[in-house]
Homo-oligomer: A and B are copies of this chain.
Amino acid sequence: MPMGEYQPESERINESLKSLGLTKYEALVYMALLQVEGATATEIHEISGVPRASVYSVIDKLIHKNIVNISNTTPKRFSAVPPDEAVRSLMGTIKNDADLALNVLSNLYETRQNRSEGRQEFIWSISGQENIKLKLKEALISAAKEVFLMSKWDFIEDSLLNTLYELNSSVRVEIVTDKWEKKIPSNTNVLLLKEFNKCNAKIANSASGVYIIDKKKVLLIMDSESDEADTSALYSESYGFVNFFLTYWNFVNRHLKHSHETEIISSD
């Protein structure tokens, strides 16, 4: 096959099936069988490009995975179970493994050595939107006294608001953002800074922001310059790190409160 043979589609589907536990050949054979019902080994070979001699062993594996059936004729003929059933079946065994793994892993996790003393001196890089949101939620819920946060409204509304409503009402919350369109949670001050957008206007759906919990924990979320999906965050309880952001917060706050561009609203 000369030329570029540009088959991003084919590549993608192969990748997908790989993560369902199929090898390249298994994927190709299964796809061939979907196209031609009751194909022989030779036909499968012709359609899929998998070497004829390899078809048999590959089929064996697929039969064990319960996504291919076999006839008793000569030549043997093979048929694929419908894709929805196949995917469901494969996902099922994966789910099983996941549950099994989760059991064992949870045990390990519970009996782990706690070095939380030292932990607080480190600055942790967290990657992955989901991870970051989870860490953020965890940190917010742990708040005892006060939370300072600075972030765009879109992100607050999307990922934060529910958590904020659920905070213990004894926790004072100070928020700096660009707009506010919902009910303001109890014990909360909101500083509306309309030019917020100008500061990081580049990215439409920015998740970036700073979160300071009880003057002890800081989570700093940063957009990646290139890839929107690849957000990263820093989390720390270290004195220096927290202190820097506290100072930063105070500075910004003082300026904003005296600016004409700023509007202050609160839950009272």
The size of the chain A interface, using a CB distance under 8 A, is 72
Copies in the complex: 2
B125 and A72 contact, CB distance less than 8 A: yes
Residue A102 at the B interface, CB < 8 A?
A: yes
Determine which of B13, B37, B81 lies in contact with A119 in the assembled complex, contact meaning CB atoms within 8 Å. B37
A84 touches B102 (CB 8 A): yes
A-B contact pairs, 30 of them (CB 8 A): A9-B104, A13-B104, A16-B98, A16-B100, A19-B21, A20-B94, A34-B105, A34-B108, A34-B112, A35-B108, A35-B109, A37-B113, A37-B116, A37-B119, A38-B115, A66-B127, A66-B128, A66-B130, A66-B131, A69-B124, A69-B127, A71-B122, A71-B125, A72-B124, A72-B125, A73-B123, A79-B124, A83-B105, A83-B108, A89-B128
Chain A contacts to B: CB under 8 angstroms? 9, 12-13, 15-17, 19-21, 30-31, 34-38, 63-64, 66, 69-73, 77, 79-87, 89-95, 97-98, 100-102, 104-106, 108-109, 111-116, 118-119, 121-128, 130-131, 134, 234-235
